[in-house]
A and B are shown apart, each in its own frame.
Chain A
């Protein structure tokens, strides 16, 4: 048993750290701040991702032949640690980088890989993911958006998607639609790559509680996709969904949570209440220490998981534990951070931008829901890890519900 990094892994860290010091956006290392204006922010983030791509740091986990570094899971962990350390700006095309590209690499055609991967990497084309529907949330397999063959190798798509992050700026959508409704709900689904720039597609932003509008409703009214945009086999889309979902559960945000905790610790050292530093209050110390222990536990668990995956190659359902623990830890931490602000907890912190605790605390309610709610993660642990009996409903046809 060994929790430490090898010299080779440490040199990967040094290389990345040196690159970040040279290439982080101007002034970022001293004072990380994103533009307030929505359009400016999108441009800023596109630029950042292009810089990362040029340096070979956008898709480190991709194979080298597609512009990645073929980074091992341990190197990916180091990558997350280092990015968290400088509170690096998010990658605007993260959905493309972390979910869609790895899925294409695994099940896409060579033509699809050649056509799409380079532009995912450089954020020249931004991607969104069309899964959830108004009547298909946690139960995503019951979706009803339909795709029907329209001759000449074309498909016509009709229906509505919801909670679609970045659809308002996306160039492409990784869409799952129903192509056959004669079987059970997991049968007859097909995954498509759909170009967003067509009149038959419209998006409508959803106003979220933290006063952001990155979620959308997306309407498909006879939208078109061609045969060469089908991912995997027609009617076998559930396999593709599962492939992508494994990538969704394989990543961790524990390192950015740890950085947020360290920032809060520094705040408690310097901020005083009635002349006493927060850090000298027993109640504050006890809560901080509990967060510290939870973070250490999650990190050690993540390292155990990564070590296991290094051998098995695939993230197991244990990824649900990481997601659940991280989401609840982040929520509790930010909730506490807001409480520590004293009567000022009644105010937005600072223009509710991306690094604002108040926004983050409200956003953390959404994070618990995204990628499968905490309840769904507990179902996955209960059923797939522990083998408890499944709910009857999970097997029935979408039509009979």
Chain B
């Protein structure tokens, strides 16, 4: 056992930090928030640093690393609320293609992702008020005669992160009637098709824009089907676990920064003739922020490791990560606002960027309540098998 990041992980974090700082740090997110598209240029730089290749297997020009390595990098990205579909591409799409794809699909997508030429996202929801898996409704009708199989996709996906900034979206659709995840198939859909259109939604978090993706009778061949027909559900569940852990890793990095900001302000800001960080109300709130951040970080590392190692409790660990971190990290950002008094409640202070990011992640892919439900079911099953 050595449950720490390795020296290599720490070196990656250091390099990433220096790079993002040199590009302006959190100003990248602020420029994105102000309406500029910083993703295109930024992505090229990320590719130059090989960050887009991290989870791509070695034989497809990648580094063959897993969630632990990626989580270490995403922590740094989260510190700056870094715009771009890095979790979507590296934590979700690449492992799905790696695990489910045919040789043809892997060679078509993975080397291009590694090179930075291909960005990917994932489209699961058809209804932004309906949780998963009920929220997957789009139908994919199977057609074709002997020898050829085609699928006709029709409908509008919603809450698709960065859809307009990505080349391929992995779309969850129903190829047959079924309960829950049964009958769900996954398709790799190219976004530059005439029948596909991305429309920006009014996202709470302007640094991480969400899109509606309308697919108007798009016909795709069998080479777009990712994994088994009707049987993409279990892979999708694991992919959503990776996605949640990746998102939480970013929030942990942001929370680490929020603690730093509170400590800086608590040390410098004086009221009643002394630094406010000397008051226990501020000191203890900040200590609690740190404890919650470290606890969430520990869960992220454990879940990332368990996912990489295919540990029997990997899904439970991912559920625990989301269940624990969603509201507690959200509170860390709220507490940072309060520690800063009036200054905290300004557009210039970074806490609101993090706060909105945390709220955007809260119910996305499964609320903490839904994850607690999964968690207790998994725990009961594990205890029965002991």
Q: Which of A's residues lie within 8 Å of B, judged by CB?
A: 1-6, 9, 74, 262, 265-266, 269, 279, 285-286, 288-290, 292-294, 296-298, 300-301, 303-304, 306-308, 310, 318, 321, 324-325, 375, 377-379, 381-383, 385-392
Ranked 10 nearest A-B pairs via Cβ? A289-B372, A300-B298, A382-B283, A388-B277, A381-B287, A301-B298, A293-B324, A297-B295, A300-B302, A293-B320
* Separation of A381 and B68 alpha carbons in the complex (Å): 27
Quick one: closest B residue to A379, CB to CB?
Answer: B283
For A310, what are the chain B residues with a Cβ–Cβ distance below 8 Å?
2
Q: Cβ of B288 and Cβ of A378 under 8 Å apart?
A: yes
- Chain A residues whose C-beta falls within 8 Å of the C-beta of B317 in the assembled complex: 296
Q: Nearest chain-B residue to A321 (Cβ)? A: B291
Excluding A378-B284, A379-B283, A379-B284, 20 further A-B contacts by CB distance (< 8 Å) are: A3-B3, A265-B383, A286-B369, A290-B372, A293-B320, A293-B372, A296-B302, A297-B295, A297-B320, A301-B295, A307-B4, A310-B2, A321-B290, A379-B287, A382-B287, A383-B283, A386-B286, A386-B287, A386-B290, A389-B266
In the bound complex, what is the Cα–Cα distance between A294 and B267 (angstroms)? 30
B323 contacts A391, CB within 8 Å?
no
The distance in angstroms between the C-alpha atoms of A290 and B328, with both chains bound, is 12
Complex CA distance for A373 and B277, rounded to whole angstroms? 19
- Chain B interface size range: 35 or more
**Residues of A contacting B: mostly:** helix
Q: Is the CB of B284 within 8 A of A308?
A: no
A300-B301 in contact given A3-B1, A381-B290, A388-B263 (Cβ < 8 Å): yes
Q: B286 contacts which of A262, A294, A324, A382 (Cβ < 8 Å)?
A: A382
Q: Point out the residue from B4, B283, B305, B372 that lies within 8 Å of A285, measured CB to CB.
A: B372
- Residue pair B266, A2 in contact (C-beta under 8 Å): no
How near does chain B come to A192, taking the closest CB pair, in angstroms?
A: 34
Of B9, B278, B298, B320, the residue contacting A292 (CB under 8 A) is B320
For this complex, 26 residue pairs linking A to B, each with C-beta atoms less than 8 Å apart, are A2-B305, A3-B1, A3-B3, A3-B302, A74-B1, A286-B373, A289-B376, A289-B379, A290-B324, A293-B375, A296-B317, A296-B324, A297-B295, A298-B295, A378-B280, A378-B288, A379-B284, A379-B287, A382-B277, A382-B287, A383-B283, A386-B263, A387-B267, A388-B277, A389-B266, A389-B275
Nearest-neighbor residue (CB-CB) of A386 within chain B: B263
Binary interface encoding of chain B residues 289-310 relative to chain A, with 1 for a CB under 8 A from any of its CBs, else 0:
0110011101101100110010
Within 8 A of A (CB), among B259-286: 259, 263, 266-267, 274-275, 277-278, 280, 282-284, 286
A308 to B3, CA, bound (A): 8
Inter-chain contact B3/A2, CB cutoff 8 Å? yes
B204 at interface by CB-CB < 8 Å: no
CB of B284 within 8 A of CB of A9, answer no
* B contact residues vs A (CB 8 Å cutoff): 1-6, 9, 68, 259, 263, 266-267, 274-275, 277-278, 280, 282-284, 286-288, 290-291, 294-296, 298-299, 301-302, 305-306, 309, 317, 319-321, 323-324, 369, 371-373, 375-376, 379-380, 383
Q: A318: which B residues are within 8 A, CB to CB? A: 294
Q: Please, how many angstroms separate the alpha-carbon atoms of A382 and B369 in the complex?
A: 31
Closest residue to B260 on the A side, CB-wise? A386
A391→B259 CA distance, assembly (Å): 20
Query: Which residues of B lie under 8 Å from residue A292 when comparing CB positions?
Result: 320, 375-376, 379
A9 and B376 form a contact (CB under 8 A): no
A234 to B332, CA, bound (A): 46
Partner of A1, one of B278, B305, B323: B305
- The winner among A262, A266, A292, A321 for most chain B CB atoms within 10 A is A292
Of all chain A residues, which has the CB nearest B384? A269
Interface centre among B267, B291, B383 (most CB of A within 10 A): B291
CB-CB nearest in chain B for A287: B372
**Given A293-B320, A391-B278: A1 and B379 interface contact (C-beta under 8 Å):** no
Q: A9 CB to closest chain B CB, in angstroms?
A: 7
Contact A3 B305 (CB under 8 A): yes
Residues of B within 8 A of A388 (CB): 263, 266-267, 275, 277-278, 282-283, 286
- Separation of A391 and B286 alpha carbons in the complex (Å): 15
